[in-house]
Structure 1
C-alpha cells in the first residue's frame, strides 16, 4: 500500500510539472549553440515546430568535418513533456525518452532512471548568449556529471 501511495504522489508531481510548462517555456533553447572541447567543437541547433522542438547535435573535428551525434525531439507524450534523444555514435544507438521532472529558476530537468547513463539531462537558461546543459547519473555505482557550456552563435 505504501508503494502504491508513493507512486501516486510521484506521478501526480510529475504531471503537475508538465502542466505548468508550455512549449514557449523552451524558447530560450532555439537557435545555434557551440562549445569547444579538446580537439573538437560541439554544435547544437534547435528549431521550433507547431507542437515541438527539434534539435541536432554535431561534433566537428580537425578540418571541419562534422558528425551527427544525436537528434532530439522535445514534445508532449501522453500529457508529459518528453526529451526524446536518438543517438548515432557507437555504443549510443537508439532512442531514449526522458520525462520532465523539474522546471525551476529557468532550469529544466528530464529524467529516465532506467537508462544506463545519463539518467538526467538538464538545460539551464543563462541569458540570451549562454546556455548550460549537463547530463548526470550513476555509472558503476559512482555519480558522474558532465557539463556543456554553450555560447549562442545564431
Structure 2
C-alpha cells in the first residue's frame, strides 16, 4: 500500500527527538507488545508477521506473503497455510547491544540478501521509531501499538523530490 506525500508534509512527521521519548526503553516491556502473529490483508494478498522473544536482548520476526487469488478466505487461514503455501519475504531481528537497540531486517531479493541496521531513535509506550538515513528506502520504520490486537508498521523515505510512506495495518492473528 503506497501513499506519496510532499517533503513539506513529511518534515512535520519526522522529528528526531521528542521530549517524552526514550532511546533506552525497558527492552522487554516495549517489544513484548510485538510478540505473536499479526495479519494484514491487502488487494494483493495476505501478509503474516510473526514475532518471538528469543532472550533478554533479542526478538526475532519473520514475514510471509500469500497472493490473493480470490480463493483464499481470511477465516480459513492458519499459520501453517503461510508456512506451506506462502513466500517468506523477510527475517527480522530486534537486538539490544552495547550502543543501542537495532531493527535488523534481511529482505529476500533486496540489499544482496544482507542485513540492514536501523537504530532506535525514539520509543514511547505506544510506538517505536527506528532510522537509517544511509539506506535508500525505507529510512524510517515505525511500529505503532494501537491496542492489544492492532499495530501499524509505517515505512517511509525519500524518492526523488517526494517522500513515500507505506502503511501496514496488522491485526492479531488468530
User: TM-score under structure 1 normalisation?
Assistant: 0.83
Structure 2 gap segments, 5+ residues each: 1-17, 73-80
* Structure 1 unpaired stretches of 5+: 1-12
The residue that corresponds to 2:14 in the other structure is: none
The alpha-carbon distance between structure 1 residues 92 and 147, as it changes in their structure 2 partners (threshold 3 A), is farther
Once superposed, what is the RMSD of the aligned Cα atoms? 2.0
Aligned positions, number: 140
Report whether the alignment pairs 1:60 with 2:66. yes
Larger % of strand: which?
1
Alignment check: 8 A CA contact 1:136 1:144 kept: yes
Shift of 1:37: 1.0
* 2:23 alignment partner, SS class: helix
- Residue 33 of structure 2 is aligned to residue 28 of structure 1: yes
Residues 151 and 170, structure 2, Cα contact 8 Å, conserved in 1: yes
Between the aligned partners of 2:60 and 2:66, the Cα distance in structure 1 is: 20
Task: Deviation per CA, 1:48-81: give whole Å up to 9, x if none.
Answer: 1112100000111246621111100001133300
Q: Distance in 2 between matches of 1:130 and 1:151?
A: 5
Query: Using CA pairs below 8 Å that are at least 6 residues apart, which structure has the higher relative contact order?
Result: 2
Partner of 1:107: 127
